[in-house]
Structures are given as structure tokens and as C-alpha cells.
Structure 1
Amino acid sequence: MGVMKRFEQRLEGLVNGTFAKVFKSEVQPVEIAGALQRECDNNATIWNRERTVVPNDFIVELSTPDYERLSPYSGQLGDELSGLVRDYAKQQR
């Protein structure tokens, strides 16, 4: 991993962590989608020129209030996030 990528990740973690503590807002589905995309990017394994493997099984942990707010939509949200991650992985080929 390059120096700039590590710097970007550390800065992102610092900013997101600090803002999350100061501004405790509700998590939005788009934030979950972004986190899943980052997980794919950060854990991609190149096996050969024609094959790259990315994570395909995720556990999303939410705060209790966010879980209670989003759980009525869990089936639809899960399907939507699965499709987004699948499409994202295909675009990265």
C-alpha cells in the first residue's frame, strides 16, 4: 500500500472518528454502502492478471438506535446493498 493511500486512510479514520464522536447523527444507507466499497477496495487480492478476489460476506454493526430505525427495512436494504457491492466490484474489473 502506498504512502499516500495510508495517509488518506489515516486521515479519513481520524476525521470520521472525530466527527462521529462530536456529531452523533444517524447512519445513512449511503454511508454503509461506502464502507462496504472501501472494504472491497482495501481487501482486494490479485491472484493473477485475470482474477482479483474481493470480500463477499459482510457483517454490518450498527448502534442500537440505528439498528432499531433501519431494521424494518433490513431485507430491502440488504438486497440493495448486495446489488450495489456486486455492481461496484464488476465496475472495478
Structure 2
Amino acid sequence: MSALWIGATGAVTRDSVKLFLIGLPAPFAGTWLGLKLFGRINEATFRKVVLLLRLDSGAVRIFQLAQAGLQFGPRTTILEPGKQLSAGVFSPHEF
């Protein structure tokens, strides 16, 4: 019901549906791999894999921010006069 309402209000565009469908195999692949490895690796190995994935994710995000020319530090925004923030959610175009 919510998805229909969001779609009807125009919040979901053709591009967002396309990106959703492109990214959809990733969760299925991760679930499949997790089920295959469940019980086959010990806890210490699992923790190392999770830490490496988190490290990789953080490194990619830092690289993306550096490429975009954004500074690291507290979240600050410069708003145009009359523009409002919506629940602290920012799009890349608002920076």
C-alpha cells in the first residue's frame, strides 16, 4: 500500500526503479553466499570477514567524498534562502 502511494505521488521515478532492479541481485547473492557458508566457517573468521567488509565500505565512502571534493568533519549544510530541510535527509544535489 505504501509503495503504491509513494509511486502515485511521483516520488518513485523510472530511473529509481531501474537502479533498484540493477541492485536487486546483490542482496540475493549475499543471502545465497551466507546460507552456503553458514556453519562452515568459525566465529573468528566470520568476524574478520565482517570487519574487512566494513573497512572496505568505509574506504570506498571516503574515496567518494574525496572525489566529490567534500570536507570531512561535522555535517554542515549551506541552505539557500527559503529552502527547508526534511528530516535530516540530504541528496547529493543539496551540497
Q: TM-score, normalised by structure 2?
A: 0.37
Structure having the larger proportion of residues in strand: 1
Structure having the larger proportion of residues in helix: 1
